[in-house]
Amino acid sequence: MTVEVDSQLNTVQEATQKQPVLAAHFMRLVATQRLSHAYLLAGQTGCGKRAVAQMVAMRLFCEHPTETGEPCGTCAECHRILSGDHPDVVMVQPDGQRIKVDQVRYIKDEFAKSPVEGAMKVFIIEGTETLTTSAANGLLKFIEEPVDNRVIFLLTTNKSLILPTIQSRAQVVEFSAIPTPVFAQTLRQQQVSENQIGLVSALTNSETDAMALVADNWVGDLQHELARWYGQLAKQDPMAFVTVQTGLVPLATDRNRQSVVLDA
């Protein structure tokens, strides 16, 4: 699986900015050789789960760790991990809506193999909640029988969809929302309008969801209609009832946007 080159040098920065406490915690675990065999990383889309997992993998193989104990992000090993070319770091994402059977078979085959170049083998599986029950049970076998030189990171946006048996055998790590100043800066880098950042930040903590909101100026239209409606309410103008039907309801085009309009 290939990661865009221009994101390679930013992974450590992303992890330390979005999840500074967890990033530091995992770096200490690596430094003291106290990594567990299985982790379930749970949190919203874009909260830094993959960045933290990749940061751990990079630190395990990095040729030139920094003085503060972080991976350098620039050596050949770090680049190979982030480009998906390292034989001892296996990364899997859902193929479409789900993690497919052949992907699970690939994970099992890789789990059975010894590390090729290093002393460890790292598995990072995104969208774990999309595994079928049979596929999840297949992975459970490996989690139940830990191997010293294997560590697996199961990433999910919905912990409740993960089998209880997997949750009980992995260390569950809850990822907090991204700090508002960090998220606001991310939105600025994506050229989101400054007057929309406050509302978008209040509505979501996911960069992906945020970009969907600002697409085609949808959130701008929402702001405009909310301001008009609020102004009418402040003046006790009966037209406020009409504005709900003519201005706000048309923006609630699907279930997700209905929820966003109500939150706003």
Q: How far apart are the C-alpha atoms of 111 and 114, rounded to whole Å? A: 8
Q: Which of 143, 174, 205 is the last residue of a domain?
A: 174
Confidence band (pLDDT; 50, 70, 90) for 137? Answer: confident
Residue 2 has pLDDT above 60, yes or no: no
Give 211's Cβ-side CA count (13 Å radius). 10
pLDDT on residue 179: 84
Residues 149 and 20 in one domain: yes
Confidence band (pLDDT; 50, 70, 90) for 136? Answer: confident
Angle between helices 255-263 and 194-203 (to 10 degrees): 110
Q: Which of 147, 174, 201 is the last residue of a domain?
A: 174
CATH of the domain at 47: 3.40.50.300
Q: How far apart are the C-alpha atoms of 219 and 213, rounded to whole Å? A: 6
Q: Looking at per-residue confidence, does 46 or 230 come out higher?
A: 230
Residue 8 has pLDDT above 70, yes or no: no
Residue 24 has pLDDT above 60, yes or no: yes
Torsion of CA 115, 116, 118, 122, to 10 degrees: -50
Residue 68 has pLDDT above 50, yes or no: yes
pLDDT on residue 1: 37
Confidence band (pLDDT; 50, 70, 90) for 10? Answer: confident
Residues 200 and 143 in one domain: no
Digit-coded pLDDT (tens) for 101-133: 888 889 989 998 999 998 899 999 999 999 988
pLDDT on residue 134: 81
Predicted TM-score (pTM) of the model is: 0.81
Structural domain harbouring 186: 180-263
| Structural domain count, the chain | 2
pLDDT on residue 127: 94
Residue 212 has pLDDT above 50, yes or no: yes
Residue 230 has pLDDT above 80, yes or no: yes
Residue 199 has pLDDT above 80, yes or no: yes
Task: Name the nearest CA neighbour of 44 among 153, 212, 156, 167.
Answer: 156
The rounded mean pLDDT for the chain is: 90
Task: Give the other-Cβ count within 10 Å of 25's Cβ.
Answer: 12
pLDDT on residue 222: 96
Question: What token pair was written down for 79?
Answer: 């680049």
Residues 47 and 150 in one domain: yes
Residue range 58-75: mean pLDDT, rounded? 94
Confidence band (pLDDT; 50, 70, 90) for 78? Answer: very high
Residues 100 and 227 in one domain: no
Confidence band (pLDDT; 50, 70, 90) for 63? Answer: very high
Torsion of CA 188, 193, 196, 202, to 10 degrees: -10
